[in-house]
Structure formats: structure tokens, C-alpha cells
Amino acid sequence: MEWFSFFLLSFPEAFLMLAVSFAILGISIKENLKSMIIFSLLYGGVAFILSIYMMNSVKPIINLTVFVLLLVIIFHFKILHGFIIGIIGFILLIFFEIILLLPFTQLVPFEQIAASPWLRIFAGITTIHIPLLVTLLVIQRFKLVIKIPLLK
């Protein structure tokens, strides 16, 4: 992956995953914006490095573990809270990847997407970033908050 993929794919993806998870659980995004940016830079960097050097089935588990640990360290959440937030973010990410990226690969072969950095960025933005952003806006607009007793 090219270095600019970090700023165009990994960093925004991390930020949006965290923002949507926070919005769903009713955690203030405005109050935590600075910490969210730091989190996104750190987690996006780890995800970017792992996508360069690791292409096996252990990578998602490592990504989730790093996501949870960074939540615990940066936001001072309990491990269970970080795990719940991480699971919500990863479920949304996987949902959009399966629902939107699979049909996209029917139009453009996956090998062609993987070979072209700009096509990979376009695919990521259209199938993950935009849907996550729309989800965030809908959650905030309609105040769709889930109250989880474990998070009190």
C-alpha cells in the first residue's frame, strides 16, 4: 500500500468506526474529538502497517485487540466497555464491506482493485467511508442511542 492510503483510507476509517460507535452508545463526540483524532491516527497507523505486512486470518483479531487496547488507554474505558465499542465498530465495518464491496467487485474485479491504489481508495471511500458517515448522520439526526446496562 502507498503511504497516502493511510490518510485517505486507514485514518478516516478508524475515525468513522469510532464516531459511529460513540454515537450509537450516546458518548459525546464533541467532548472527545481531540482524543478521537489521536486514537484514529494511532489505530489507523497500526491497521495500515498490518495491511502491508500481514495478509492472513489473524489480522482482524489483532486489529480488534489493538482497537480495544487503544480505547482503554486513550479514553480510560474499562476493557469490557472498549470491547463493546470495538465490536460495534467492527460489525458495522464488516457489514458495509460485505453488503457494498461484494457487489462492487462484481463490476470491477478484486484483482484490479487490489492492484490500483487509487481504485482501492475509491472503493474504500464509496463502500465504507460514505456509508459510515451516512450512518453517523442518521444516528445523530434521529438520536438513535442504544442504552447498554454494562456501560454504566
Distance CA 127, CA 9 (A): 11
Per-residue pLDDT of the chain (152 residues), as tens digits, is 688 888 899 999 999 999 999 999 999 999 999 999 999 999 999 999 998 898 888 999 999 999 999 999 999 999 999 999 999 999 999 999 899 988 888 888 888 988 899 999 999 999 999 999 999 999 999 999 998 887 76
* Domain tally, the chain: 1
- pTM of the predicted model as reported, rounded to 2 decimal places: 0.92
Q: Compute and round to an integer the Cα radius of gyration of the chain.
A: 15
Measured CA angle at 115 (ends 126, 135), to 5 deg: 15
Identify whether the C-beta of residue 25 lies closer than 8 Å to the C-beta of residue 146: yes
Q: Residue 107 belongs to what domain range?
A: 4-151
CA gap 47, 138 in Å, rounded: 27
